[in-house]
Amino acid sequence: MPTFSLPRHVGLALATALLATTLAGGGAPAQARDVVEPARSLSGNFLSGYVAGLARDPAAAATFLREALLDDPANPELMERAFVAFLADGAMGDALRTAERMIGIDAQNGLARLALGVGALRDARFADALARFEDGGGGRAADLTATLLAAWAHAGAREGDAAMAAVDRLAGEPAFEIFRLYHGGLLASFLGRPDEAEERLAAAYDMQPTALSIVDAYARHIARRGRTQEAIGVYEAFLERIRRHPLAEARIAALRAGERPGRPATSIAEGAAEVLYALGSAGNAQGDEMPTIIYLRLALHLAPAHEMSLLTLADVFARMDRAQDAILLYEQVDAASPLHVEADIQVANLLERLDRKAEAESRLRVLMAERPDDLEVVTALANILRVRKQWTDAADYYTRALDLIGEPTPAHWPLFYFRGASYERAKQWPKAEADLKRALELVPEGSSIGRAQVLNYLGYSWVDMGINIEEAFDMLKEAVALSPRDGMIIDSLGWAYYRLGRWDDAVRELERAVELEPADPVINDHLGDAYWRVGRRLEARFQWQHALDNDPEPEEREKILRKLEVGLEDEPAPEAAQAPRTGANGG
């Protein structure tokens, strides 16, 4: 995309427009689907759209830029920015109309050609789609997206040999081989070439046996050929590698009930949507948000009920703090789908994040009434209660979850860890210690972050109680070695030194921790205490004030205010009754 310059007629009024639209509520990004009122001027709408884009609010960006484009419809750079916002917001009518105008200016605009080709595929205008995808030269093997979508367009036009030839233009590109095999298999199945489909899908499965789309396509294909037990084995092998997945479990149940699955791709739109979903999913794994969103929006334009696209796009929006946008997507997952429960749990989590606590809990309790033995539902409620600091209730639901699993496996270590943490906060240490030890036994050696969290919690707790000191310090040092960039775990080691009166060691570790987490009030408070003990009183007060400015817990605020007033008491160490600090995976 070219560097964007300001639309015509935008001059010194920019600052005034920004202030005006912000004060009016138009310039500040709305929370997802809140109503956004356009500004009154081109400059105001452009700048508000620009700010909304920076704030990753596609709905607001689309609203403002739509208005700006009405005022300056011939501006190609404004057109392109609005087009991207329309795609990201899922406003496909606006996006396709804008793409047609962009093609009139630049016939080789790749993203506009892609969008128009997808629109043509959806409408079964296969010749038009091919004209968009093939770039006038028969397509380029390097252009993965266009090549695969052109193959599906050929299939729609009943040109089976051309479809398979298009896919095979990807041969010789190692990074594209999995796409060539997988989509070649889907196309061959759709075209009624079962032997070729099996050969390609089996090869794709051998390459990526943990990719659910590939697993599902291969298993469905061989089940349709009468090899039901073999198909069940494919799903079971997947579940041995992945802790659990409701779609794979549902497929096994359906096969055992004698149901015959449908083809891996039942329509041109569905097959083409799978191309776009795979590319969006790959972008999501790499953290490329905007390409991911655009690919998934295009996939959903082709196949609005494509569940994995809905879930993946919702996950992206949730990660972007666009909670209401994410909820709207999760709620589009069909109630009859095996993935509906997962979507409902995520909605509850987002409602909790939005402080709509009664709705969040109600949704989970309704789910639990419908599915009282569903481990994921029970665990989700336990997690919400733990985050709310309802320690005893949380521990009770973790117990209920553990009762459901029977013999625990390494995959279940988080249940023991979180129940142990809940017991510790509820001042039931013997139960907490037993659970933390069990979590440490179960957590896989390869899960360095998870192991660091358990070591941190157990080791810190022992130090805080003055027991098992040598073993506890070994645990904390190992935790830091496993997660050396986790300021909260380093804080635990530093605070353990502090509790033992080893002030210089405490300062060293706590200074490391505050470098990694400079705005954490607890770490600032701890470092202030350590500075005070080594006589660095001015720096101690600076850290305490910094802790106060970073919104500490109410009970800690009073203690910090007291320290700012009179310093620390004369005892060798303060009373410490707070839980060990945990990093991002610790809760």
Domain parsing of the chain, residue ranges: 14-107, 448-586
pLDDT digit string, tens, across residues 47-83:
887 887 787 888 888 888 888 888 788 888 888 899 9
pLDDT band at 469 (very low <50, low <70, confident <90, very high): confident
What is the CATH architecture of 14-107?
Alpha Horseshoe (1.25)
In this prediction, what percent of the chain has a pLDDT beyond 90? 70
User: What CA–CA distance (Å, rounded) separates 377 from 366?
Assistant: 10
Q: Are 473 and 497 in contact (CB under 8 A)?
A: no
Residue 581: predicted pLDDT: 60
Alpha helices in 331-447 (DSSP H): 340-353, 357-370, 375-387, 391-405, 413-425, 429-442
In this prediction, residue 580 has a pLDDT band, given cuts at 50, 70 and 90, of low
Mean pLDDT score, 276-283: 90
pLDDT tens, position by position, 423-465 = 999 999 999 999 999 999 999 888 899 999 999 999 989 988 8
Q: Tell me which residue of 224, 210, 582 sits closest to 422, measured CA to CA.
A: 582
Above 80 in pLDDT, residue 15?
no
pTM of the model: 0.81
Alpha carbons 427 and 359: distance in angstroms, whole number = 29
Task: Please report the sign of the dihedral spanned by the C-alpha atoms of residue 218, residue 219, residue 224, residue 227.
Answer: positive
pLDDT attached to residue 511 = 97
Site of tokens 């409620």: 381
* Domain at 448-586: CATH architecture: Alpha Horseshoe (1.25)
Q: How far is residue 23's CA from residue 28's CA, in Å, rounded to a whole number?
A: 8
Mean pLDDT taken over the chain? 87
374 vs 47, which has greater pLDDT?
A: 374
Rounded to whole angstroms, the Cα distance separating 361 from 380 reads 10
Please name the amino acid found at residue 561.
L
Which of 14-18, 324-328, 352-356 bottoms out in mean pLDDT, i.e. has the lowest? 14-18
Question: Distance (Å, rounded) from C-alpha 495 to C-alpha 505?
Answer: 9
459 within 8 A of 553, measured Cβ to Cβ = no
Among 448, 442, 356, 372, residue whose Cα is nearest residue 404: 372
Per DSSP, which regions of 461-506 are E strands?
Answer: none
The angle at the Cα of 123, spanning 305 to 337, to the nearest 5 degrees, equals 10
Please list, in sequence order, all residues whose beta carbon lies within 8 angstroms of the beta carbon of residue 278, skipping any fewer than 6 positions away.
179, 182, 213
